[in-house]
Structure formats: structure tokens, C-alpha cells
A and B are shown apart, each in its own frame.
Chain A
């Protein structure tokens, strides 16, 4: 059984789907349905890949490798470890949900849903590719090309300042990517000197990693680091994310914050640590400082945000700090927590993004101050928001708690000071989530977006006590919207109570990563 064929199919299928959907420009509903159909088939393929993967088996499984450009020593090589597999599964789960949530999206004038759905499918293909590549050149290729569909998604379908946000996003990422290209080429040259012929094969590079001189490793590490730190993003490379996240259409925003940003963290785990072990150990304090700064700084900014989508973007930057802390603590427990966190964050932030999108679709405003007392009008919407919010603040019983807890207890033995500081971020998380919920959902019905919706624009200045009877303009969730949110809500609870199946897939791979960095777990800790 050649498992690599599944991964190849997962890359090709959405591309075919995109071509088909793009041709259906004049028929919006069939186009959307076709797009969703392809995304659901992709989900089935992901399930096949999941069942074909043996936790604790080879380092890389479901492999496929064909020669591509011999002159550059690169092969079209695919394969997954546990880390990549859970991310691919996350993509496959999120894309149909994103499509469902974008079903009634109000696109800017002149844009067709066919274009939107086709771009989402192209993005899905490239995202799968970036996680499935086991050749550094191929990884770089996907890493750069995936900017293009996201750029068009933001720039064509986004909010009022979409041009600015799209260009800022693209240039930031491209700059990071080009700095990384210097390191990619450097890696090729170094491998040529060590092996006699340059190669991009990840496994071969990981084998010679420890023989590369420390100074070379540090330069190469820094090249990769800049790209991944921009992508992740770590403070101070994060400034593009609030703009891109706020202006992106909700569906693209979910994939941007939920999946694409994870490529940065994944890059640290898959490329920086095993390929530059000495440099990773040497420079870990640098990354940890940025991670901790990110947790606190972004959390404080999240508290102060007035725009709901920017709020979600900042909470994400804060969460990414936790994830980076877990990765660079170099213990199996912390890294397993970090990888699980990547999945959980995709689910909970994805859900938060989607419910906020639903709120904005009703109120027509992104400002928190335009809302108030929504729970009285739309209790289901409020309940879903609360669940997503509680998951974002890592309440025990939700999925994020497990991962955050693993990161913190896994990091403590090696980095006690950083871990203690990071813990204060949890308090800030509770503050920003609950205060947000309180302002938007609770109390008397108020705010221009809500009251305007109740009585029409003229009545915005004088809310009446009897206004509740005219609530038709601020409806609760529709069946479609509930259907979109229920899978995410279920995953939040399920992974909060039974994380073990996912951890079983992740742990052997992160254990191998810790070994590749040349460290062993602190005493008293092993794989869970």
C-alpha cells in the first residue's frame, strides 16, 4: 500500500476542484456546492491518511518520492509525521466548515462566490503540500506559493482596507521567505560539501545536521527563523497579522490564523530544530524571550482592542507565544502540548472568528462598542461565542486547557522563570475574553449595530423598552450556521475530555524531535 498516493491525492484533488469551481462563475449555488463537495472528499482522504498512519512507526510515513530537478538535488517528496498529520487533519476539517460559514458571505461588488471558493480550494491544496513536503526545496515552494491565493482572498474579498492589508501581508511574508531562501540555498551548498552532492532531502539533512559547524548553523537558523517568526508570528514581527486578520473575509481569516500561521511553528519543529540542533539550543533563549513578550504584549493589546477581528488576531498572537514556548522548551511533554495547542487553537480561534463573523454579518459593524446585550436577542449565538471564548481562555474541560497545561508543566523543569511569567498570560486571557463577552453579549440591549438593527437607523438614538418585539432584524443563528458551529463545538469538548487519541499520534514524533535536538527529557518526564 503506497500511502504517499493519499497525500498526493490530497494535494491534487483541491486543485482540480478549484478549476472546476472557477469555471462555474455564472452559477453561484452549484459552484458553492461543488466546492463544498470537493472539500468533503478531501476530508475523507484525510481520514484515510489518518488510518494509514501508525503512531510509533517510522519517523516519516505515507512517503512518496520521485525525482524532480536533479540539478538542484530536489525530489518531489511527500510524507508525514504525527505533527504534520494532525495539521493536515485540521485543514481538512476546517475547510468545509469555512465554506459553510461563507455560504451567505456578502462579497464586495463584482466578486463571485465561485472565485472565492476556488481560491479557498487552491489554498487548501497548498497548505496540505506545505505540511506534507519532506524536501526542503518543495517545502519552500509551497511556503511561498501559498501566499498567492491568500493574497487574492484578502485583496479581492476582504474589508474596506483590504488593499493595504493584502500588500502588507504579502510583502512581510515574501521578505521572510526570501531571507529563508538564502538559508535554503546555504543548506544546499553545505550539504554539497558534506555529502559530495547537494541534497534537499529532509532525512539526509537531519543526519548530517550535527556535523555542520556552529557558526554556519546559526546563520542558517537565523534565515529560517526570520521567515517562521514572521509567519507564526512572534512579536515584534506580528504587525501584519491584525491588519490581515481584520480585513480578510471570515473564511480566509480562519484559514490564515487557524492554519497558515501554524506553518511558522511547524517550521520551527520540523526544520529549525532537527536541521540546526546546536543553533536551536544556543538561540533558544532569544526565541523564548520573544515568545514571552508576545504572550503578555499581545494579550494586553487584545484587552484594549475596539475592533472584534483585530481582537481575535491579537489573542492569537498571544497564544502563539505559548506554542513557541512549548516548542523551545525542548521536552516531549511541552512540545506535544505545543502541537496539540496548534490544533486546538485552530479549532477554538476558528470558531471564535466564525461567530464574530456571524455577529458582524448581523450588525454590520466590527466595533465592540456598537454591540451590547446580544445574548437577549440571540441566545444561541451568545452561547456559541461563550464556548469559543472559554476555549480561548483555556477553561478546564475545553480542549485548550489540556494543551496549555501540557506546555506549562512540560516547560517548567527546563525554563522555570519563563514558564512562571507565561502563566500570567492566562490571567490576561481570562480578562480579555470575559470582558469582551460582557460588553458584547450581556446587559441591556444597546449599541448602534444592535439597536439600529432593532428599530431601523432612525431609532438608534432612542432605544425603547418595548423594542424586543421587533427583533426580526437581529435574528439568532440559522440552521446552516448552527450546523457549521456544532462540529467545532463538539471538537472543543471532545478534545478537552479525550485528547489521548491525538496525543498518541503526536507524542512519538515530538519525542523524536527532542532527540534530534540532542537533548533528553528532564528527569521524571517522558512521553505521555
Chain B
């Protein structure tokens, strides 16, 4: 309406600021403030003190956001709150996913902040140096003496901005807010992917690839939003749902819009066949960043998928669900089969994440309360397992940095039994062996899917799990049953931060496998605000 009224001064008086429920959105505000302060720290704090200041700020921010979340839950429970003129919904799923994101980012932050495993930290102090030059080689071999000065700390504000984007992404109740959150979460990630200290060329390739493909997917998303706006006259999910209920509007716009929108989301969640960036970016990015992306981006993307499908498109589920069946199957098959052929451990976990994205989609399209809580539980479980797995990957190193080629992992159990045991446990969790969170998550998701009449899909998923188990097992075989190579990698003694992150991941993986009740109850706390 505003745009058509040329009498601007008259209009101003009619604008009333929307009511803002500051208590409900406090966690995102705190993270956002933390990110802004972090930029200031980067600008004004002297270099030697920057790392400590940033780490303290990160911990403080995450703790404060967690406390705000806890206070909100304690005082108001999971009663849905829709605020900011209906653009943000703080409801049960949003709260659970916020909690998940904050908890996972504690682990990711610890990995990012570590600067003893890779002397000086995993990030290049000078990203503009041309790869392969003498200057590049000099910065790659960060010596312990340089540790204090060369830690790249601008990764911290980027990390917080991205996290804030993810949090808003999962709570966005209209598609424009969702799009803005998508950009806020993505842009820092593109940069972070290109900041690895070692193998600069690979890292830059990852960043460019992620950026170009990400830009494409954002365009898809935006085009979808436009079509849906054309269909419903609104970008609010609930309005779209209302519009699609028994009208004679053209279905082409609705389903065309949904298709484009969902492609954008599936891309972010690295669901096959929209996964092609995943292996390259996982491999090229610095491993702590990969851990952050693998754990948190998936949570954000699936949070959004769940919300869009449940709130916006539940009424038309019979029209689109068949297609997503197909997507889920493709994703599971691609992840499981291509994972078999990988020789690089990071690429292998990347394909495993594609397979897991397929499993998650199976739960996400169930559109029942069990499906919702199961999928969210799966996100929590998978996030911590994969975080810890990447944490272990950072530890196995040779002179050229991380030893990610699978053959270099041979006989690891003999050299460092504890690292091998931890990694074997995490692999069993990824494979879904009982007494790990991986099994509980699979059970929750598949039982929801089966109860919703998707038995064939569940059988396909289970067969895919069996295939995927082979490549996890292959690593266990290498570590335990093979003889170590003479010039194999050594396992770094992890610093406090990495130890804490891996311990956190392993403990949660075990806890959610043995006593998952509290998390399951929390995930089932409430449905979406409509």
C-alpha cells in the first residue's frame, strides 16, 4: 500500500511499530550483539590480546544466549509466540533448534578456537597470499613462537553472524525473513570456507564453489518466494496455507514456487541431488569450519524445511510428497553408494552427511508430531556426532597438516588407542548401531515415517544404512586390523579446546543412545505456531 501513496509525510503517521516480544527473541538478539561487539574487538583490541578477548566473548555470548533461552522456557514454556508483526515465530521447534544450535556452536567454537593442534590455529593469517608462493608456505608452517600473533581471529565474528542467521532461519515465519536469514547465515560461511591455513588452493576452490552454487540456490529460493507471493498475495507461511485451501488459483504458481523454494532449502541441507558442493567444500574448508557447517547448517536447513512444509504446505501434502519421496531416496542412495568410493576421510563424512540428509528428509515429510520431534532429535544427535568426528580428524596429522587420506589412517589403533576408540565409536554412531545416538535418532525418524504409511521408504532407508555401514566399517578395519604404515601420521596431543569439543560430542552421542528420554521429551514439547 505504501508504495502507491505519494503523500509520504501523511503516511508516516499511519505506521505503527509492530509489537516486539523482546523476551522471546532475546537469544538471537544476544548472539547478534555478540557478533557486533566481536567486530569491534577485531577493530580496537590489540593483536596479542585479540584471541583471548574473542574467545571470552564467544563463550559469554553463547552462555548468555543459552541462559536467555532457558529463562524463556522456564517462565513461558513452549507456548508459541509470534512476534515482529508475524515474521518470527518462537515456538516449540524453534526453541529446541535454538538450543541445539547453541549447544553445537559451543563445540564448533571450541574447535575453531584451538591453536595448539595446528600451531597458530587452523586459519590463514593472510588469506590474500597467492597459493603456492613462498609467502604461502611460510604462513602455512605457523611455528609455536608465532602462535600469539598469527591466530586469525576474524573468523569469530563471522561465526557468530552465521549462527545468528541460522537461529533466525529456524524461526522465520515468513519467506522474506527466511531469505534474509538464509543470506546472513550463508555469506559468512562462504568466507569461512576459504580461510584454511593449509592447502590454500583447495580452500579457495571450496569457497568459490560454495559461493557460486549458494548464490544459485538463493536465487532459486527467491524466485520461489516470488511465485508464492504471486499465488497467495503474501509471503507469510500461514497465509500461503490458507490460500491453498480450496481455491481456484493456479496450482502452477503454488507448486512451481514450492519446488524452487524447497530446492534452495535442500541445497543448504546438502540433500542429494542438490549436494554437489558438499564433498568439495567439506574437504577444502578448514576442518573446524567443516564441523560447524556439517552440524549447524544441517540443523538450520532442516528446521526451515520442517517449518515450510508443516506450516505452509501441510494441506497440499498429497500433491508434493511423492516428489520428496524420490528426493529422499536419491539422497540416501547417492550418499551411501558414492561414499563407498571415497578415499579422503572428509569427503567420506561429506557423503555420509548426504545419506543422513536423506534419512532426515524421511522424517521431515512425515508431517506428524512424531515426525517433527524425531527429525529434530536426529538433528541434535547427528550434529554432535559429526562435530566430534571432525574434531578427531583435526588430530591425525603429518608434516603437511591433516592426514585425510584414508590409507594414512591404517593401524591408528596401535599408535593411539584412545583416538581410534573414540573415532570407532563415532563411526558406529553414524552407522546407527544401538546404544549410540545414531540408532535412537534413526529409530525415532523411521518409526514416525512408518506410522505415517511410508513403509517402502523406510525399507529403502534401512538398506541404504546397511550400505553406508560398509564405508564406516572400512575405516574401523583400517584403524584396527591393518598394520600402520612406516611413515604414517602422528596423532597430535589435542589442546584443551579440541579435547573439550570431542568429549562433548562423544558424551552426548552416548547419552542420547542410552538415556534419550529427556531430549525426546524436549523435542516433543510443542508444535509449530500457525
Contacts and interface: CB of A to CB of B under 8 A. Distances in A.
A144 B450 CA distance: 21
B40 interface: no
A182 B524 contact: no
A192 B481 contact: no
B510 interface: no
Nearest to B433: A144
B144 interface: no
A192 B480 contact: no
Contacts of A72: 443-444, 447, 520
A71 B462 contact: no
Contacts of B414: 110
A70 B477 contact: no
Interface stretch (A170-178, A398-406, A431-439): A170-178
Interface string B421-441: 000000010011111000110
Interface stretch (A183-191, A322-330, A494-502, A511-519): A183-191
A384 B399 CA distance: 58
Given A144-B433, A189-B451, A156 B524 contact: no
Interface string B404-426: 00000000001000000000000
A152 B473 CA distance: 11
Contacts of B463: 175, 178-179
B450 A185 contact: yes
Contacts of B520: 69, 71-72
B129 interface: no
B466 A162 contact: no
B252 interface: no
Contacts of B474: 167
A182 B461 CA distance: 9
A71 B447 CA distance: 11
Contacts of A186: 450, 455
A181 B473 contact: no
B466 A178 contact: yes
Given A71-B521, A155-B481, A185 B459 contact: no
A415 B163 CA distance: 68
A186 B449 CA distance: 10
B458 interface: yes
A156 B447 contact: no
Given A70-B517, A72-B447, A182 B462 contact: yes
A181 B524 contact: no
A140 B481 CA distance: 27
Contacts of B521: 71
B6 to A, nearest CB: 59
A198 B414 CA distance: 45
A141 B439 CA distance: 9
A189 B450 contact: yes
B469 A174 contact: yes
A155 B447 CA distance: 33
A155 B477 contact: yes
A192 B451 CA distance: 9
B434 A140 contact: yes
A163 B458 CA distance: 30
Residue of A167, A181, A186, A188 with highest tally of chain B CB at under 10 A: A181
Interface string A339-368: 000000000000000000000000000000
Given A110-B414, A178-B466, A189-B447, A71 B477 contact: no
**How many interface residues does chain B have, given as a range?**
35 or more
Interface in A365-405: none
A145 interface: yes
B227 to A, nearest CB: 37
A23 interface: no
Contacts of A70: 517
B282 interface: no
Contacts of A68: 517
Contacts of A179: 459, 462-463
B516 interface: yes
Interface in B469-528: 469-470, 473-474, 477, 480-482, 516-517, 520-521, 524
B446 interface: yes
A152 B420 CA distance: 13
Contacts of B394: none
A189 B451 CA distance: 6
Contacts of A429: none
B434 A156 contact: no
B465 interface: yes
A171 B517 CA distance: 30
Contacts of B451: 189, 192
B358 to A, nearest CB: 15
Residue of A141, A144, A182 with highest tally of chain B CB at under 10 A: A182
A182 B465 CA distance: 12
A311 B477 CA distance: 27
Interface string B150-178: 00000000000000000000000000000
A167 B446 contact: no
A272 interface: no
A111 to B, nearest CB: 10
Given A72-B443, A171-B470, A185-B446, A145 B433 contact: yes
B185 to A, nearest CB: 30
A148 B450 contact: no
A146 to B, nearest CB: 10
B443 A185 contact: yes
Interface in A133-180: 140-141, 144-145, 147-148, 152, 155-156, 162-163, 166-167, 170-171, 174-175, 178-179
Given A171-B473, A181-B446, A156 B480 contact: yes
A294 B470 CA distance: 28
A167 B470 CA distance: 8
Interface in B347-393: 373
A509 B334 CA distance: 48
A171 B435 contact: no
B428 A71 contact: no
Contacts of A167: 470, 473-474, 477
9 contacts: A144-B434, A145-B433, A162-B481, A178-B463, A179-B462, A185-B450, A188-B447, A189-B447, A189-B451
Interface of B: 373, 414, 428, 431-435, 439-440, 442-444, 446-447, 450-451, 455, 458-459, 462-463, 465-466, 469-470, 473-474, 477, 480-482, 516-517, 520-521, 524
Top 7 A-B pairs, shortest CB-CB distance: A141-B434, A178-B462, A71-B520, A175-B466, A185-B447, A189-B451, A155-B481
Given A72-B520, A155-B480, 7 more contacts: A69-B440, A69-B516, A70-B517, A140-B434, A144-B433, A147-B433, A148-B428
